[in-house]
Amino acid sequence: QGEVENLVQAVGFDRCTILRPAVLLCKRQESRPMEWIAQQFLGVVARVFPTAYSVPVGTVARAMVACVLQPGEGKVEVLENGAIHELGKA
């Protein structure tokens, strides 16, 4: 767990969902050449292995909405990339 995750959990929310997406596939306004190259490569990989190393930002957004609309499994829920893809399908 990361330091920020520990701090968020320490606040004592009734329910907390932590999302841990892989590389976000999105267009950026600022120039990051290495990130652009990684996104191009991972975009191709995602066609064969869609949940392995990347996730589109729209999928993450849909997963966030789904987390709010459905009851969680516990006080703190951690969603890794595969679970984010599952929730974000709708």
Going by the DSSP 8-state scheme, the letter that residue 73 receives in this structure is S
Split at pLDDT 50, 70, 90, the class of 12 is confident
Q: Where are the domains of the chain?
A: 56-72+81-89
3-class DSSP assignment, residue 54: strand
Contacts of 58 (CB under 8 A, 6+ apart): 88
Look at residue 6 and tell me whether its pLDDT is greater than 70.
yes
| Chain-centre distance for alpha carbon 63 | 8
pLDDT at 1: 61
pLDDT mean over 50-72 = 83
Split at pLDDT 50, 70, 90, the class of 34 is confident
DSSP H or E run through 15: none
Look at residue 84 and tell me whether its pLDDT is greater than 80.
yes
pLDDT at 77: 87
